[in-house]
Amino acid sequence: SQSYKIVVVGGGAGGCSVAAKFSSLLPKNHVAIIEPNDTHYYQPMWTMVGGGMKKLEQSGRPMSEVLPKNARWIKERASEFFPKENRLVTASGEEIHYDYLVIAMGLQLDYDKIKGLPEAFNTPGVCSNYSTLYVGKTLESLKNFKEGNAIFTFPNTPIKCAGAPQKAMYISEEYLRKHNKRDKANVMFNTSLGAIFGVKKYAEALEKVVKERNIAVNFRHELVEVKPDTKEAVFRLLDDPAGTTKTFKYEMLHVTPPMSSPALLRANKQLTNEAGYLEIDKSTLQHVRFSNIFGIGDCTSLPTSKTAAAVAGQNKIVFDNLRLLMDGKKLSKKYDGYTSCPLVTGYSKCILAEFDYDGKPLETLPINQAKERMTSFFMKKELMPQLYWKLMLNGWWNGPSTIRKILHLGTGH
């Protein structure tokens, strides 16, 4: 059995950035990170990979290079938590004891909840930017597109980067136009939701975009089955009596899978809420029942949109509050729900949504970010990856709130 001051579960955006902060504060190997994967992916780049603007290889780096050198990397999967005993067990049966635990396990993709998947990914036209396995098929499907429906789905669960299903669609729509196939295509967004976006300001901007570009939006349509033999996709109509479905032919089908909190986390009812997410205080990010446990990112109950930008806004809160706890002081740092979604609308433009828990826009730049802009696109495509690899993963990026305050000095908002 091993013992550490701080154990971090998950070496993704949240785990890596929090571990980096504590590793520079504490002596060598006082922090351990449990993470089974060899490669750390910058997932936001997959939207660009799907459109052929970046290569998949550019989105990954060896885990060994991004995890903090001063921390012990336990290259395993955590398999069971014993929060009352301040310990957990890994897949190989190793016992790990901790004083403090940070859980950053992300979300699990549930492609198999859709009948016919994942097998149908081996057939023409079915693709998904959400997985390294299927993101390459997005561009392939666009290249091979002849005529018919190009359908983009949004599942009936919370997902990471709620804007990404639409980004895939806007890029694809522009691709089809550029390659003189747009008049043969019927582009549609079949979403389980009842609105195009959760924040009014950006929803209004996106409603204009879909209208201008002749994209059909079908609300409350949940993908339940893919039939590759007949190239049909079956949707459940969520507002109709249970069981009512509607079938669409597809030439291209971009699937955003249902997602859930990782099964192993959900299995521990002491740690999670009804929906299975790690139950933490929305301001302090401390667990509601175990004071020495904190959470960050997609696996948590935080009622904000799940993004890397949100993780950037959370990591200093976890760091500061956990240090206060170690010093026996009152937790005083509060997360405001900051999140951001760069809504890429094609090969050169982007709406840069930023907002808080109340759905109130919290824009960094003193310009209207709901407008499609090339500057926002450039930030998303070129600056964000640098910001992520060089600053965020080293614990040096806490989101743009300081920049926002400076740029808004004197403007009164």
Q: Which of 44, 106, 116, 346 binds ligand UQ1 (CB under 6 A)?
A: 44
Give the gyration radius of the chain's Cα atoms: 22
Kindly report the number of other CB atoms within 10 A of residue 96's CB atom: 21
For this structure, is 127 an active site residue? no
Cβ neighbours of residue 53 under 8 Å, at least 6 residues apart?
171, 347, 381
Helix (H, G, I), strand (E, B) or coil at 405: helix
Question: Least distance to ligand UQ1 from the beta carbon of 405, Å?
Answer: 13
- Kindly state the smallest distance separating residue 47's Cβ from ligand FAD, in Å: 5
**Is 318 among the residues that bind ligand UQ1 (CB under 6 A)?**
no
Each residue 386-405 as x (binds ligand UQ1 by CB under 6 A) or -, in order, gives -xx---x------xx-----
Residue 263 CB, nearest approach to ligand FAD (Å) = 9
Nearer to ligand FAD, 215 or 311 (CB): 311
Angle at 217 between CA 216 and CA 218, to 5 degrees: 120
* Coil, strand or helix at 304: coil
Asked if 384 is part of the footprint of ligand UQ1 (rule: CB under 6 A), the reply reads yes
Q: Contact, 322 vs 284, CB < 8 A?
A: no
Question: Which residue, among 53, 17, 60, 43, has the nearest Cα to 107 in the 3D structure?
Answer: 43
Q: Which is nearer to ligand FAD, 125 or 295 (CB)?
A: 295
DSSP per-residue codes, 226-272: EETTTTEEEEEETTSSTT-EEEEE-SEEEPPPPEES-HHHHT-TTTB
Question: Shortest distance, CB of residue 364 to ligand UQ1, whole angstroms?
Answer: 4
Contact characters 114-153, ligand UQ1, x per CB under 6 A: ----------------------------------------
Return the one option of ligand FAD, ligand UQ1, none that residue 364 interacts with (CB less than 5 to 8 A, by type). Answer: ligand UQ1
55 or 246: whose CB is closer to ligand FAD?
55
**Per CB under 6 A, 103 contacts ligand UQ1:** no
In the complex with ligand FAD, which residue's Cβ is closer, 159 or 217? 159
Q: Determine whether 16 is an active site residue.
A: no
Q: Which does 60 bind (CB under 5 to 8 A by kind): ligand UQ1, ligand FAD, none?
A: none
- Residues for the chain: how many in total? 413
Q: Which is nearer to ligand UQ1, 301 or 364 (CB)?
A: 364
Contact residues: ligand FAD, CB under 6 A: 9-15, 34-37, 43-44, 46-47, 77-78, 104-106, 129-130, 160-161, 164, 262, 264, 297-299, 306-309, 311, 340, 342
* Distance in angstroms (rounded) separating the CA atoms of residues 100 and 86: 8
DSSP-derived pairing of the beta strands 72-74 and 60-62: unpaired
End-to-end CA separation in angstroms for the chain? 53
C-alpha–C-alpha distance, residues 285 and 150, integer Å = 41
Q: How far is CA 353 from CA 122, 260, 283, 305, in A?
A: 35, 24, 21, 11
Give the nearest residue (CB) to ligand FAD.
12
As a dihedral over the C-alpha atoms of residue 338, residue 344, residue 350, residue 353, rounded to 10 degrees, the angle is -20
**How many CB atoms are located within 10 Å of the residue 366 CB?**
13
Nearer to ligand FAD, 315 or 321 (CB): 315
Spatial contact of 199 and 355, defined as CB atoms under 8 Å apart: yes
State the catalytic residue, choosing from 16, 127, 299, 341. 341
* Residue 279 or 363 having the CB closest to ligand UQ1: 363
Q: Counting contacts by CB under 6 A, is residue 308 touching ligand UQ1?
A: yes
**Residue 14 binding: pick among ligand FAD, ligand UQ1, none (C-beta 5-8 Å cut-off by kind):** ligand FAD
Residues 355 to 374 in contact with ligand UQ1, rule: CB under 6 A = 364
Q: Report in angstroms how near the CB of residue 65 gets to ligand UQ1 at its nearest.
A: 18
Residues identified as active-site: 161, 341
User: Residues in the site for ligand UQ1, rule: CB under 6 A?
Assistant: 44, 308-309, 312, 340, 342, 364, 384, 387-388, 392, 399-400
